[in-house]
């Protein structure tokens, strides 16, 4: 009995998992290093091995915690002693976090400011690896009442199904819309096509009796708002000038 107690006292890994769990309860995961978070998350999936060296190897392989989560299970399985269940769990973390954050915002979030809208769309499509386009239909107070999400399935390119958009917008009880799409490249600056698309949106939403509040481009860590940049106001002004000019030409045409 004494020899067993002596062995345990000399072994620094005895009760290590219990001490780690107590640290998580006391300090929180956010105050722990990346490899420690991974070590802890691996406990249920690798119960009979020391997960500390596995966690270190995962960080060395991917670069940081975020990149571990964004990896494929096949890549993580290159690390010695990793299991399939552990790899699938870790790579599903972005989906779990996304679902949690969207539910936290509520079924009918208030998108009445650029900050609120950007937060919502970043969670919804900001991490996607292909382009998605979302049309949020809002009431007069800026509350989301309906959502139309579109993609053409191609990376780096996104097209709107005009018929689907018009039917959804026309049948809604909304007063205004916000359109958002993502740039998987991480560069939120609008392309010429993005600018032309925004000009088209202003015209078509007016015909449908809706107001375009903003067109937002989101990435993981940045965004671009046509409203905040002043471009949306410029486009509306240019469109009105053109209409006024056309009306005057018609009026004074000989």
pLDDT, tens digit, 9 for 90 and up, residues 98-141:
899 888 888 889 999 999 999 999 999 998 888 899 999 999 99
DSSP SS3 for 207: helix
Residue-range definition of the domain harbouring residue 205: 108-250
Residues 146 and 61 in one domain: no
97 lies in a domain?
A: no
| Chosen domain end from 91, 122, 140 | 91
Residue 117 and residue 39 in one domain = no
* 196 in the same domain as 134: yes
> Residues 22, 115: one domain?
no
Rounded to whole angstroms, the Cα distance separating 164 from 166 reads: 6
Are 71 and 184 in the same domain? no
Whether 99 maps to a domain, the answer reads no
CA 14 to CA 19: how far, in whole Å? Answer: 9
Residue 162 lies in a domain: yes
Its pTM stands at 0.75
> Quick check: is 101 in a domain?
no
Q: Please identify every stretch of the chain with a pLDDT value under 70, giving residue numbers as ranges.
A: 1-14, 151-159, 239-254
Residues whose CB is less than 8 angstroms from the CB of residue 156 and which lie 6 or more positions away in sequence, other chains included = 130, 131, 184, 185
């Amino acid at each position: 009995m004494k020899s067993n107690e002596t062995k345990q006292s000399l072994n620094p890994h005895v009760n290590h998992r219990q001490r780690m769990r107590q640290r998580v309860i006391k300090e929180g995961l956010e105050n722990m290093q990346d490899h420690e978070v991974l070590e802890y998350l691996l406990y249920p999936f690798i119960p009979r091995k020391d997960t500390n060296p596995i966690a270190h190897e995962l960080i060395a392989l991917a670069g940081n915690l975020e990149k571990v989560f964004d990896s494929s299970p096949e890549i993580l399985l290159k690390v010695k002693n990793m299991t399939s269940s552990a790899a699938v769990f870790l790579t599903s973390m972005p989906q779990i976090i996304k679902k949690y954050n969207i539910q936290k915002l509520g079924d009918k979030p208030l998108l009445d400011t650029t900050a609120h809208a950007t937060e919502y769309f970043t969670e919804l499509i900001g991490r996607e690896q292909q382009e998605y386009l979302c049309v949020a239909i809002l009431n007069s107070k800026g509350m989301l009442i309906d959502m139309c999400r579109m993609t053409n399935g191609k990376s780096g390119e996104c097209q709107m199904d005009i018929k689907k958009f018009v039917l959804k917008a026309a049948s809604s009880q909304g007063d205004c819309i916000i359109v958002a799409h993502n740039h998987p490249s991480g560069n939120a600056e609008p392309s010429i096509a993005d600018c032309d698309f925004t000009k088209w949106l202003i015209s078509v939403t007016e015909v449908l009796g809706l107001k375009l509040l903003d067109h937002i481009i989101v990435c993981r860590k940045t965004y671009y708002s046509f409203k905040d940049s002043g471009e949306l106001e410029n486009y509306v002004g240019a469109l009105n000038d053109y209409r006024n000019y056309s009306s005057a030409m018609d009026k004074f045409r000989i």
